[in-house]
Structure 1
Amino acid sequence: MDAPQHAARSGGVVATLAFAGITAAIMQTLVTPLIADLPRILHTSPSNSAWVITVTLLVGAVCVPVFGRLGDLVGKRPMLLVCAAPLIAGSVVCALSSSVVPMIIGRGLQGMGMGMVPLGIALLRDVVPPAKLSSSIAMVSASMGIGGGLGLPVAAAVAEYTSWRVLFWGATAMAVIIAVLIWRLIPNVPAGAKGERFDAPGAIGLGIGLVCLLLAVSKGADWGWSSATTLGLFVAAVVMLVAWGFWEIRTRQPLVDLRTTARPRVLMTNLASIFVGVGMYSSMLIVPQLLQYPKATGYGLGQSMLAAGLWMAPAGIMMMLVSPFGGKLTNIRGPKFTLICGILVVAAGYGASLALMGAAWGLMVGLMIINCGVGLAYGAMPALIMGSVPLSETAAANGFNTLMRSLGTSIGAAVIGVVLAELTINLGGHELASENGFRVGLLIGGGVALLAAAIAGAIPAGRRADLGGHGAHAKHAAVSEQVTSDT
């Protein structure tokens, strides 16, 4: 295959994987406009309907690292197609649901598709020319944020002016398109760890530990942080994850190579990812509420769900525009520099949001700044990870990093939820989060971002050619030959 043909093929791969990430993010935000109406739609209680959101988080957290490892074992393209199948099935089940149980099942199936993004990022290392690798990673990695930012206003408009079922039929169509694009445009690159066995005990242990931890974090506020259920889940999570760690260290072909994960460069990047996740998600919880709170509070801006989504949409667009510049910055100064810059921009965005929170345009500007920083940071983290692990562990390492980000968003949701629940006012007999509560939440987001920047600053410096290490040029040539034979 000549250079123009190969460039066109790699461009199609990047576009397909970015669209897959956007679709996966939209699946997560799809039900946001329906939260208040779910009990009526599904003929159930608010506590039961909350599982429609929680189950996607739980299933996604379990499947992302497992599918990542399977991508290394059987190939990334087959696993991308595997991820597309439950996205389609889950969307259809949700569209046809009239009660809470099938809706939860459908949302759980949609959660299985969240493994597309780390698999796609890992695939880029195999098929994209080294000169374009950093910018491609940045675009695909940021696609989750882009989808979240753009999906909310679209979902709100559809939910407001048509049937809620249209949301899920639209999601079905997007998932089908993704499956066709993967089938047609993604090359079948040989698996990096072909022939190794799958660590089933490790997958089960990690799954149980993660479900216990995330259930305790996400439902602790509802059940009570000191309740027997919440404390029991935290204890079970610690016991299971410690046991899982011992197993992973001792087994010959682990689900996650903890020795690689313990390398200072990988460990500090994953730790920073947790705090970046907290910082990113805090704004996504605070800004919509401030926009929609009644003006009678004195600080709410009285916007409808659709209007609030439109005020937030430019932030998603900014992430899309900034991501390619993040790739160029990584090429010039390295991914560590890009990560630190991105996190500091997030902190600056929280400062702007605090100063301008009295106006819708001010919150829009603050969120745009935050998302610019998230776009830079989310593009740099996979580059740091892939520059530090063997080719045979690329997908698994990316899946684990994505899991750390998801853990951060869950922690952020819990912390901000507690703050807003504790700092309240009474308006017309209703308990509402106070202005001080929102300010404290924004301060926490900015403070966590500064802490993340300090952690990122402690990441050991790597070689400039790290991302293309482990024989990347030779590997790239081999992949080109494979792509030529496939076409």
Structure 2
Amino acid sequence: MTTPETRRALVPALLLAALAASLAQTIVIAALPTLGRDLDASPTAVTWVLTAFMLSSSVATPIAGRLGDMFGYRRIMLVCLGCFTAGTLVCALGVRSLGLLVAGRALQGVAGGVFPLAFGIVRATLPATRLRGIVALLSAMFGIGGSVGMVVAGPVVDGPGTAWLFWGTLVLAVAALACAVILPAGSPAGAGRVDLPGAALLSGALVCLLLAVSQGRSWGWGSAAVIGLFAGTAALATAFVLVELRTAGPLVDVRLMRRRSPATTNLATLVVGAAMFGVITLIPRFVQTPAAAGYGFGASATQAGLVMVPVALVMLVAGPFAARLGGRVGSQVPLRIGAVCAAVSFVLLAVAHGHLADFYVAGVIIGAGYGLAFASIGNLVIESSPAEQTGVATGVNTIVRTVGGAVGAQIAAAVLAASASGPAPAETGYTTGFAAFAVLAVAALAVAATIRRPV
């Protein structure tokens, strides 16, 4: 039985774990150029510091969610956070070795499993009256932690150095692991064997897809390697679906995932994730462009991080508001409002980006859009899935969000590359990018309009 003291500590413990995991994913983005110089590594090689985390997370997330459903969420949470802590230590000690850094980041990526496990714990432990608000806050924490990672990375890189990106994260990792010990053990849904063929096929499909998306620009979209990876994705995904349909205890209930509500929610997640992450990768690069290019502000990494502060702060407020609004009119409504906010903010950036104030104003609206959209998505996923499949359903949605983010980042990179005629992209590249992501946000709104409130 869960004691009142445990319940009071439960939410802060889960929020800390979610913050640490999401912060770790983005904290290296601003440091990649510095790491490349320190390690004498090419831009393509040093990108593996980000790619390794993403690939590992994509594999671990749905598997951790399913294992949590079967064997208990706390047990698997401790494993994920233990791997995260060990990987962070490897990164901190091996920051002068690209091989160790990539290995540590791959181990860190197991923390992706924290999100579905956290959703499973709150659904199994908290009363229904609190569930919506906590799910919304946990969902928003994915974006809040990512924004915080981008905010703090600049001052750390400009100050004590890149190693402290990992020493600081290690403090969070150890604290999250210590707090996770007090989480309720829960009652596993139990029985059955781990679907190893399904896990292997899904892992292979995700690795092929994310590797192709993340490396497509550097390897060449028409290269044999990238085309082969996309073909491998299709083959493995097809095999995965066929195996899951014939398995008594599947890793992912494909029949459930293809029902209208889960399918449209995941599609909305993919599109809005691509739009949001694409713009968030454009903004720091724009403000750091030297004014000699005819635009930009020559901002340092620290100043570029400060531009992201309004995004993180407003998300923190928008998440709980989305829960209250969703409780009254349905979670699909704040998702739609979030998509509208995203479209409006991206249009503003497309037409007005001559002053830093333009980015602060847009950041407030982006934060509202991100917080409303993803807080409501978490509740939509839970509302459309059986309690015993909470972990795997939210794990699949988390992976869809990761894929969307990777796609958005590559769209941003491709648009800028197409506009480049010198050392820096042309200003029109950014204008086109902001406008393109506004169109994606409108597409997300169209998908969200098809989601109906559960009865």
TMscore range, shorter length = over 0.9
List aligned pairs for 1:15-94, cutoff 5 A: 15-94=12-91
Shift of 1:61: 0.7
1:246 and 2:239 aligned? no
The equivalent position to 2:353 in structure 1, one of 337, 353, 357, is 357
* TM-score normalised per structure 2: 0.97
* TM-score normalised per structure 1: 0.91
Shift of 1:147: 1.2
* Contact 2:279 2:412 (8 Å CA) reproduced: no
The equivalent position to 1:402 in structure 2, one of 389, 394, 398, is 398
- What letter matches 1:44 in structure 2? A
Shift of 1:279: 1.2
The equivalent position to 1:439 in structure 2, one of 431, 436, 447, is 431
* Contact 1:149 1:317 (8 Å CA) reproduced: no
User: What residue number does 2:158 align with?
Assistant: 160
* Contact 2:331 2:453 (8 Å CA) reproduced: no
Query: Any idea what the Cα deviations from partners look like across 1:183-237, whole Å, max 9, x if unmatched?
Result: 12x1111113x01211010000011111111111110100111111111111111
Q: What CA distance in whole angstroms lies between the structure 1 residues aligned with 2:13 and 2:426?
A: 43
* Contact 2:154 2:304 (8 Å CA) reproduced: no
List aligned pairs for 1:18-417, cutoff 5 A: 18-97=15-94, 98-184=96-182, 186-192=183-189, 194-417=190-413
User: What residue number does 1:477 align with?
Assistant: none
Q: SS state of the match for residue 232, structure 1?
A: helix
RMSD: 1.4
Q: What CA distance in whole angstroms lies between the structure 1 residues aligned with 2:345 and 2:73?
A: 36
User: What residue number does 2:450 align with?
Assistant: 458
- What letter matches 1:165 in structure 2? A
User: What residue number does 1:470 align with?
Assistant: none
* Contact 1:86 1:110 (8 Å CA) reproduced: yes
Q: SS state of the match for residue 33, structure 2?
A: coil
Q: SS state of the match for residue 185, structure 2?
A: coil
Unaligned runs of 5+ residues in structure 2 are none
* Contact 1:68 1:398 (8 Å CA) reproduced: yes
Q: What CA distance in whole angstroms lies between the structure 1 residues aligned with 2:272 and 2:448?
A: 10
The equivalent position to 1:425 in structure 2, one of 421, 427, 442, is 421
Shift of 1:460: 3.1
* Contact 1:273 1:405 (8 Å CA) reproduced: yes
Q: What CA distance in whole angstroms lies between the structure 2 residues aligned with 1:181 and 1:314?
A: 29
Q: Where in structure 1 do 4 or more consecutive aligned residues deviate above 3 Å?
A: 8-11
Query: Any idea what the Cα deviations from partners look like across 1:374-423, whole Å, max 9, x if unmatched?
Result: 11111111211111111111100000011111111111111111111001
* Contact 1:150 1:316 (8 Å CA) reproduced: yes
Q: What CA distance in whole angstroms lies between the structure 1 residues aligned with 2:453 and 2:34?
A: 50
Q: SS state of the match for residue 433, structure 1?
A: coil
Shift of 1:322: 1.4
Q: How many correspondences in the alignment?
A: 454
* Contact 1:209 1:240 (8 Å CA) reproduced: yes
* Contact 1:87 1:175 (8 Å CA) reproduced: yes
* Contact 2:60 2:110 (8 Å CA) reproduced: yes
Q: SS state of the match for residue 308, structure 2?
A: helix
- What letter matches 1:450 in structure 2? V
- What letter matches 2:222 in structure 1? S
* Contact 1:336 1:461 (8 Å CA) reproduced: yes
Query: Any idea what the Cα deviations from partners look like across 1:12-42, whole Å, max 9, x if unmatched?
Result: 2222211211111211122123211222322
- What letter matches 1:419 in structure 2? V
User: What residue number does 1:479 align with?
Assistant: none
* Contact 1:64 1:400 (8 Å CA) reproduced: yes
* Contact 2:350 2:432 (8 Å CA) reproduced: no
- What letter matches 1:109 in structure 2? L
* Contact 2:31 2:153 (8 Å CA) reproduced: no
Q: What CA distance in whole angstroms lies between the structure 1 residues aligned with 2:265 and 2:75?
A: 28
* Contact 1:43 1:100 (8 Å CA) reproduced: no
Q: SS state of the match for residue 36, structure 1?
A: helix
User: What residue number does 1:482 align with?
Assistant: none
Identity of aligned residues (%): 35
Q: What CA distance in whole angstroms lies between the structure 2 residues aligned with 1:343 and 1:10?
A: 34
* Contact 1:150 1:317 (8 Å CA) reproduced: no
* Contact 1:311 1:361 (8 Å CA) reproduced: no
Q: Radius of gyration: which is bigger? A: 1
Unaligned runs of 5+ residues in structure 1 are 464-487
Q: What CA distance in whole angstroms lies between the structure 2 residues aligned with 1:14 and 1:346?
A: 28
Q: What CA distance in whole angstroms lies between the structure 2 residues aligned with 1:320 and 1:256?
A: 31
Structure 1 residues 40, 435: CA separation in 2 closer, same or farther (over 3 Å shift)?
closer
- What letter matches 1:199 in structure 2? D
Q: What CA distance in whole angstroms lies between the structure 2 residues aligned with 1:59 and 1:358?
A: 39
- What letter matches 1:91 in structure 2? T
Shift of 1:118: 2.0
Q: What CA distance in whole angstroms lies between the structure 1 residues aligned with 2:418 and 2:40?
A: 30
* Contact 2:81 2:176 (8 Å CA) reproduced: yes
* Contact 2:22 2:142 (8 Å CA) reproduced: yes
